[in-house]
Every structure is written in structure tokens, then in C-alpha cells.
A and B are shown apart, each in its own frame.
Chain A
Amino acid sequence: MNVIGYISSIFKGVISLLKGMKVTGSYFFRPWTVVTQKYPENRKTLVMYERMKGEIVMPHNANNEHKCTGCGICEINCPNGTIEVISKQIQTEEGKKKRIIDKHIYRIGMCTFCGLCVKTCPSNALAFAPNFEHAVFNRAKLTKVLNQEGSVLEKGVE
């Protein structure tokens, strides 16, 4: 190594180190750049992101209608056996036999939030919701029925 290269390598090294120190120093002297949120204190104003995978829900419209046809694809796809679809056969007005869901059971305690059920649902009946406060005192409360009381299948969804 020649002398000029040696000396310039010292200055280059110092400059590159100072660049790094500038970044951390600028964060240190601007405490308002802190991204940590104090959770229980800011619970009232906390806004979670839309894409947050908090829990699986079945969206219902204003007429209490959902899109689940009871095909059972979500149940087959679930790796943990989290979902259980209990369906029943009914007679329609035209005299045809049709399958509708009685209960769409979702056991959140077993769910890994992999999203396979949401992804594979042919009628987009399932979705993720951002609610993440699932702590309960009784394990039985972790078993949820996703379809609401008295809800029916939306018109036009087969």
C-alpha cells in the first residue's frame, strides 16, 4: 500500500463512520421520531392497520346477509382444523334442494392466521379484521360462530 492510499483510506474511513453517526445522532436528538406506541394508555386513540390479521370474520351486509355457501373449502384447507362448517339441506320455493350453513364455527385458539381460508374462499365470504384483544378467562369463549343469528345467504351468490 502506498503512502497516499494509506492516508486517504484513513480519511475515507473516518468520513464513512461519521455518516453512520449522523444517522443515529439525528434520531437521538429528535425524540419525536420514536415509533413505539404505549399500548394500554393510547387504547382509546389506537388505530390499527387495515391489513392487520387480528381475527377472521364473516362480513354481513345491512340486511343481515352473508356470502357463505357452506361449500366447506375453508374447512378442508385449514391446516389446524380451526374451522368447522355445519350445514343443512333445505327445500327452496322452486322445489330444489339447497345447502345452507347452520353454523360456521371458528376456534381462534387454534388459528395461526395463515390466511388460507380467506384466500381460498370462492365467494369471498371470509375476511381479516384488525381486532387483536382476544384475551379471555374461559377457553370456551375462544370458539366463535361467525355467521350471525338469523342471517341468510346473499342473493346472487351461488
Chain B
Amino acid sequence: MNFNIYDFTSFNQWIDNYLYTSLSPFWALIVEMTIIGLVFLTGYALVGLFLVYLERKVCALMQNRIGPNRVGPFGLFQTIADLIKLLLKELISIKQADKLLFNLAPFIVIIASFLCIAAIPFAKGLHAMDFNIGVFYVMAVSSMGVVGILIAGWSSNNKYSLIGAMRSGAQIVSYELSVGLSLITMVVLAGSMQFSTIVEAQSDGWFIFKGHISSVIAFIIFMIASTAETNRGPFDLAEAESELTAGFHTEYSGIKFAFFFLAEYMNMFIVAAIAATVFWGGWMPLHIGGLDGFNHVMDFIPPFVWFFGKTFVIIFLMMWFKWTFPRLRIDQLLTLEWKYLLPINLLNVLLMALMVLMGWHF
């Protein structure tokens, strides 16, 4: 069999057929789910570790430093060494803590981010679940993470944790609106909530070019609001080191802390992947309507290279924000959302609807 690295559909079909012919349907389903789970777990850990390394390197360069450079070439194995250290550390149990909730919280946070990856299309055919309500599903599942954060803050029996968790709750609840509305703007343009349809619709130009003004505004709002939703700087009030030691994960140690850490970085990856898919065409190569020669050259670059390239460019943008801007106060944070982003966003949805009705988009 020869497989096309530009289209994984035949490859998946082949595995599916093979499993269903050699096993009973029930076991075939179980095996398929296990394979997908293992692939995602491995990818999750690798991407998470790489993002931590990338963050430290990018931040170092922006501050005129070198960053990790001792463990392995260019310090590439630094995060693996850190992970081994975290795995070997003691899990300290807090005396007055609510044991069940305290142990449950990291899993809720990590499950919320893990569920999101399932809906992201990595390449043509590389897509775990292609819902017809993909965008809605991602929105719904990603907001589950805040429950984990609130539980972590509450069960730690520590005022810093509680304040951090409450801030995080207020922040995520308000910024969820902006994320949702900016995605709705793009859904209006795409006419579908299914990720595969959204990507296919961008084969003759990415949505950020197709919807010009409205798309650019939606993209900027999405970037700001999603940075706030992932609790990253300049919106990292939930763990503001100088005020709250570490915020909601102050009392966590060892692997449980690693879970929170990994979930934070994976949330960043997921948000960037969604931005890349909805605004920049996901795995769709850069196509310009009318220039067939150029489009043909672009098609030679495999789709997962396009996908990860775009995702990492957006991740770099988010790191650029984080290491440039100072942290906002809580009142500034809420002013930004309720007085600026939300009204602009509502107007933007109307503008996009008008553009689609009048056919002003490309």
C-alpha cells in the first residue's frame, strides 16, 4: 500500500478495515480508541515539553539572555531533566485540605485540555472526531478547566490559592464571552461549525484574508481573549507570583504540579491551533485565488507542516505578548473585557453578518 502524506484518509481507512475484519466490532472500537488515546498522550507530553523549552528560549532571547544551554545541544533536554526532577519529588499532602478534591483537581484541568485536542484537525484525515458542532464543542469543553482551577484553589485550604482561583474564575467567565463571540464571527463567515468544513472553505484563501476588516478585528480579539483564558501573562493574575506566590497551585508539588504546568502549556497550544484553524486555514496551504502555479508549489508542503508552522507562529505571538507587557490589575482586566472587547466584538459580529449578506467578502 502506498500512503499519501498529503491525505491521511486512506491510511485511516486501511487501519479501520484491518481492525474490523480481524476483530469483533466491539474490540475493534476499543483498540481504535486505545491507539488514538496513546498517540494523543505521547503527542501531548512531547508538545508540552517542547513548549516549555520554547517559552524559556524565546523569553531569554527577548531579555538579552541565552536561556537553557547546558543539558544537551542548545539545552534541548533541559525540560526532560526538569520532568524527571518533578516525577521524583515528594507529593506533600496538606493536613487540613479536602483530600478528594485536592487530588481530583489536576485531573479535571488536564482532562479539559485533553478533550479539546480530539476536535482539532491536524491534517486531511488526521482528525480524531469531526463533529458538526466542532467549534461549539471546543468552547464547551475548554471552559471545564476553570472548574478544576476553582476546586484546586478551594481544596488547598490556603488563602493565596483561594484568591488565585477566584480571580481565575472571574477572568475566564468574562473572557469566555469574547472568545465565543469572535469565533461566532468566523462561523458566520464559514457558515458551519464543523472544523473540516471550515478548513475546506479556506482552500481559495484563508478567512483572515477573505473576511478582511472584520476577520482581522476578530483575530486580534480572539488572541487577547484566549491569552486571558489560558491564564497567561499579561493576564496571569491567577498565579501572580509577586502577590500570590503561585496562585491556585501553591500547595501542589511533584507530578500534580506538573499536571497543572503541562495543562497550561497545552491550553496555549490548543488555543493557537484553533486560531490557526479558524483564521489561518489550519492545514490548508497558502492559496491565492487565480495564481495556479503558486498554489501548486504550496501544495507540495505537507499539511501537518502547514498546521504546526501556523500554530507555532501564533504561539510565538502569545509568548511575545507575555514577555513584553506588564501584568494587568483586576479592574483593568475587567474594564478591558466589558468596556472594550465586548462592545467591539458585538459590533464586529453585525459587521460580519452585513458583509456576508452583501457579499463584501472575497
* Interface size of A in residues (CB-CB distance below 8 Å): 15
Contact B324 A36 (CB under 8 A): no
- Looking across the interface, which residue of chain B has its beta carbon closest to that of A31? B61
Tell me the A87-109 residues at the B interface (CB within 8 Å): none
- Interface secondary structure of A, over-half rule: helix
With both beta carbons as reference points, the residue of chain A lying nearest to B322 in the complex is identified as A24
Q: Show 24 A/B contacts (Cβ-Cβ < 8 Å), sorted by A.
A: A10-B340, A10-B344, A17-B324, A17-B325, A20-B325, A21-B320, A21-B321, A21-B324, A23-B324, A24-B62, A24-B323, A24-B324, A25-B62, A25-B320, A27-B61, A27-B62, A27-B63, A28-B58, A28-B61, A31-B61, A34-B61, A34-B65, A35-B64, A35-B65
CB-defined contacts of B64 to chain A, threshold 8 Å: 27, 33-36
Q: A36-B64, A36-B65 are in contact. List 14 more A-B contacts (CB 8 A).
A: A10-B340, A10-B344, A17-B324, A21-B324, A24-B62, A24-B320, A24-B324, A25-B62, A27-B63, A28-B58, A28-B62, A28-B320, A34-B61, A34-B64
Contacts of A25 in B (CB 8 A): 62, 320
Instruction: List the A residue with the shortest CB-CB distance to B67.
Output: A36
Among residues 3 to 23 in chain A, which have CB atoms less than 8 Å away from a CB atom of chain B?
A: 10, 17, 20-21, 23
Q: Give, as a whole number of angstroms, the nearest-CB distance from A55 to chain B.
A: 28
In chain B, positions 298-331 with a C-beta closer than 8 Å to chain A are 320-321, 323-325
The docked-state distance in angstroms from the alpha carbon of A28 to that of B54 is: 13
**Chain B residues within CB distance 8 Å of chain A:** 58, 61-66, 69, 320-321, 323-325, 340, 344
Which residues in A have their C-beta under 8 angstroms from that of B325?
Answer: 17, 20
For A10, list chain B residues within 8 Å (CB): 340, 344
| Alpha-carbon distance between A31 and B62 when the two chains are bound, in angstroms | 9
Interface residue from B62, B63, B69, B323 paired with A38 (Cβ < 8 Å): B69
Q: Report the separation of the CA atoms of residues A14 and B324 in the bound assembly, to the nearest whole angstrom.
A: 13
Q: How far is the CB of B58 from chain A (nearest CB, A)?
A: 7
Q: Which residues of B contact A35 (CB under 8 A)?
A: 64-65
Q: Which residues of A contact B321 (CB under 8 A)?
A: 21
Task: Output the least CB separation between B228 and chain A (Å).
Answer: 15
Task: Give the residues in chain B near A23, CB-CB below 8 Å.
Answer: 324
- Chain B neighbourhood of A36, CB < 8 A: 64-66
Task: Write the nearest CB–CB distance from B55 to chain A, whole angstroms.
Answer: 13
Q: Which 3 A/B pairs are nearest by Cβ-Cβ distance?
A: A24-B62, A24-B324, A36-B66
CB distance from B219 to the nearest CB of A (A): 14
CA distance A25 to B320 in the complex (A): 7
Q: Does the CB pair B324–A34 fall under 8 Å? A: no
Q: Are A34 and B66 CB-contacts (below 8 A) given A17-B325, A23-B324, A24-B324?
A: yes
Task: Specify which chain A residues have a CB less than 8 angstroms from the CB of B324 in the assembled complex.
Answer: 17, 20-21, 23-24
Question: Closest Cβ of chain B: how far from A30's Cβ, in Å?
Answer: 9
Interface residues of A in 137-153 (CB under 8 A from B): none
Within 8 A of B (CB), among A37-72: 38
Contacts of A34 in B (CB 8 A): 61, 64-66
Which of chain A's residues has its CB closest to B61's CB?
Answer: A28
Smallest beta-carbon distance B337→chain A, Å: 14
Q: How far is the CB of A6 from chain B (nearest CB, A)?
A: 8
C-alpha spacing A154/B61, complex, angstroms: 52
Contacts of A21 in B (CB 8 A): 320-321, 324
Q: A31 to chain B: which residues have CB within 8 Å?
A: 61
Give Cα distance in the complex from A152 to B65, angstroms: 48
